[in-house]
């Protein structure tokens, strides 16, 4: 069919989601992290589908005069200039619940891995070193988990870690003082002082960038573990490096970084850091759900009807 709307897929989407696009649109692919390629391909796009790697800023919007829909296959919209898109009448759709279980499970995995030194112990073993006493860990049962940002993912993490016997405290000023049962809401300073494990589940906003900096790290216990599966920049990486080297806190696990992709960081050289390359949403289930959600929303916006093969 000629003159079909063009859907530009700029980050890898699940095959299930791509199949849902059907035959009423023309699907084109580009590498959204290759700026010149993205800007060139955006010129003919009616729909732009991305994950977290592609930055959809004013320059991209300027280069995309036909754009009607931006689909973000995931939760965080910090890589999309939503306000600017709205001013141009471009719809922005995301998948706010598609990957939250995966992100919560990833967080729990990182908490457990940090508490038991799984990464450095496994690395030592691969290098032929059987170092049992060096990697003595800590039990989580009876310890306190501090959740900063008690939204969808923070709540799922709290529920799961409560099953490990952890006491849960949280800081979230937007809950109006109302929290799920069993969760004590605290001011940030008190959470930082009381928690043994601190996990961050915030959007990246002007308010949250740098929220965990030098002073906040200094307020934590020397035995504290800090986990960030939310967004880079919320934890100040330089201050964190200093706190980990000086023993101000015991360890950290990071899935996200101020600049991504991040293939080199002084943090990666520390044994008490467990780094992962933004894998929180990287499960087949989450990717299928996120991709299908934004494809359906994009087709709905284009044609005012559901995708091929879906019930009307």
Ligand X SMILES: O=C(O)CC[C@@H](O)C(=O)O
Ligand Y SMILES: NC(=O)c1ccc[n+]([C@@H]2O[C@H](COP(=O)([O-])OP(=O)(O)OC[C@H]3O[C@@H](n4cnc5c(N)ncnc54)[C@H](O)[C@@H]3O)[C@@H](O)[C@H]2O)c1
Residues lying near ligand Y in the complex (CB under 6 A): 74-76, 99-100, 103, 148-154, 171-174, 201-204, 207-208, 229-231, 255-256, 278, 280-281
**Nearest distance from residue 133's CB to ligand Y, in Å?**
33
User: Does residue 95 have a cis bond before it (omega within 30 degrees)?
Assistant: no
Q: Which of 51, 117, 231, 289 is catalytic?
A: 231
**Nearest distance from residue 294's CB to ligand X, in Å?**
11
The one of ligand X, ligand Y, none whose footprint includes residue 51, by CB under 5 to 8 A per kind, is ligand X
Catalytic residue at 278? yes
Distance CA 101, CA 283 (A): 10
Distance CA 69, CA 49 (A): 8
Distance CA 128, CA 145 (A): 34
**Nearest distance from residue 101's CB to ligand Y, in Å?**
10
- For residue 295, give Cα distances in angstroms to 10, 22, 59, 184: 13, 10, 24, 39
Beta carbon nearer to ligand Y, 130 or 174:
174
Distance CA 147, CA 186 (A): 10
Beta carbon nearer to ligand Y, 7 or 85:
85
Contact residues for 84 (Cβ-Cβ < 8 A; gap 6+):
57, 58, 61
Q: Beta partners for 69?
A: 47, 91
Catalytic residue at 66? no
Beta carbon nearer to ligand X, 140 or 281:
281
Beta carbon nearer to ligand X, 33 or 300:
33
Catalytic residue at 204? no
Strands 6-9 and 69-72, sheet pairing: unpaired
Binding stretches for ligand X (CB under 6 A): 51-52, 74-76, 99, 278, 280-282
The residue whose Cβ lies closest to ligand Y is 151
**Nearest distance from residue 169's CB to ligand Y, in Å?**
13
Residues acting as catalytic residues: 231, 260, 278
């Amino acid at each position: 069919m000629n003159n079909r709307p063009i859907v530009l897929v700029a980050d890898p989407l699940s095959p299930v989601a791509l199949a849902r696009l059907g035959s009423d649109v023309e699907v084109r692919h580009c590498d959204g992290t290759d700026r010149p390629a993205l800007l060139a391909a955006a010129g003919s796009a009616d729909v732009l589908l991305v994950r977290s790697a592609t930055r959809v800023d004013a320059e991209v919007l300027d280069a995309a005069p036909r754009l009607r829909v931006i689909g973000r296959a995931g939760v965080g919209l910090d890589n999309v200039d939503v306000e600017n898109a709205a001013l141009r009448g471009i719809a922005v759709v995301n998948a706010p619940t598609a990957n939250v279980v995966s992100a919560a499970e990833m967080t729990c995995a990182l908490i457990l891995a940090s508490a038991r030194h799984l990464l450095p112990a496994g690395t030592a073993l691969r290098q032929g070193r059987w170092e049992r006493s060096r990697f003595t860990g800590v039990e989580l049962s009876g310890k306190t988990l501090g959740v900063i940002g008690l939204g969808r993912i923070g709540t799922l993490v709290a529920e799961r870690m409560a099953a490990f016997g952890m006491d849960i405290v949280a800081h979230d000023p937007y809950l109006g003082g109302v929290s799920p049962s069993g969760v004590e809401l605290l001011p940030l300073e008190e959470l930082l002082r009381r928690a043994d494990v601190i996990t961050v589940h915030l959007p990246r906003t002007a308010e949250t960038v740098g929220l965990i900096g030098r002073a906040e790290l200094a307020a934590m216990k020397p035995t504290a573990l800090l986990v960030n599966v939310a967004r880079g920049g919320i934890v100040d990486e330089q201050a964190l490096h200093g706190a980990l080297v000086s023993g101000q806190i015991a360890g950290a696990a990071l899935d996200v970084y101020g600049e991504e992709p991040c293939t080199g960081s002084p943090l990666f050289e520390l044994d008490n850091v467990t780094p992962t390359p933004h894998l929180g949403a990287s499960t087949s289930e989450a990717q299928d759900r996120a991709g299908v959600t934004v494809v359906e929303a994009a087709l709905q916006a284009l044609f005012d009807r559901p995708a091929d093969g879906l019930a009307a």
